[in-house]
Structure 1
Amino acid sequence: MHRVPAERADRRTIDGHRVCDAIAAIGEPAHVRAWAERFALLSDPGRLALLLALHRTGPLAVSDLAIATGMNDPAVSQALRLLRAAGIVAGEREGRVVRYQVIDPITGNLLNHCLADGE
């Protein structure tokens, strides 16, 4: 199926059928943006370390995550705030302690690949 947008249809192609396949593979711009935002959250080493720790061990409090990652408590809190706003982690309060865990299954699958690659 010919999928080249009208504004690009006048441009010369070498492998037109592959161009159409590539356009189909890219998909909707909103979908691409959503994945780019997810990867942007994972691209920070501190946030990725937090996610790996949470994914492997289960729910942890900010102070425990700070010790595990070598980050300070405010940096952990800020990172968790971003991850929580993106729907990747959630916190559960037990008295004065909030323990965080990974709740996004897609991110969990990506983290499985990261962990498997490091073993």
Structure 2
Amino acid sequence: MREYTNLCGLDPHSEYVELAAEVFSLLADPTRVRIVLALHRDNELSVGDLAEIVDKAPSGVSQHLARLRMARVVTTRQDGTRVWYRLADEHVFKLVSEAVKQAEHTVSNGQIPPHHHNHPAADG
């Protein structure tokens, strides 16, 4: 088992531990979490579209997107004067999804959390 963890960075002494903490820090903002969820749902959105979805000013959303882009969480595509954003891969969505599921457990008060119901959108 230890050989496997060394190969993929899951060892407690892995060089990726600090970077993983930075990813969590980057995602420790509700607006960024909403952006990730919106991009996963809609695949590709402009700043204006995202601003409307997350109910924030376009300038603020733009700043959040700049941080996500610097961290290579989102990528862009230009179409004329409009810039379209999308998730770089599914990993960040999986992190956000698991965090939301954990939050559901935290507030479920012994009840079955929503993600455990048989909903088509639920991932487990």
Fold agreement, TM-score > 0.5: yes
Work out the CA distance in 2 between the residues paired with 1:25 and 1:43: 23
Structure 2 residue 26 is matched with structure 1 residue 41: yes
Structure 2 residue 51 is matched with structure 1 residue 27: no
Q: What value does the CA root-mean-square deviation take over the aligned residues? A: 2.0
Contact 1:87 1:104 in 2 (8 A): no
The equivalent of 1:77 in structure 2 is 62
Secondary structure at the aligned position of 2:34 is classed as: helix
TM-score by length of 1: 0.71
- Ranges in structure 2 where 5+ consecutive residues have no aligned partner: 1-9, 105-113, 116-124
Work out the CA distance in 2 between the residues paired with 1:39 and 1:69: 20
Work out the CA distance in 2 between the residues paired with 1:55 and 1:42: 15
If you compute each CA radius of gyration, which structure gives the higher value, 1 or 2?
1
The equivalent of 1:106 in structure 2 is 91
Q: Give the length in aligned residue pairs.
A: 95
1:47-89 Cα shifts (integer Å, max 9, x gaps) = 1111111111110000010010011011000000000000000
Contact 1:55 1:111 in 2 (8 A): no
- Ranges in structure 1 where 5+ consecutive residues have no aligned partner: 1-23
Secondary structure at the aligned position of 1:26 is classed as: coil
The equivalent of 2:121 in structure 1 is none
Higher helix share: 1
The equivalent of 2:52 in structure 1 is 67
Secondary structure at the aligned position of 2:16 is classed as: helix
Percent identity between the aligned chains?
34
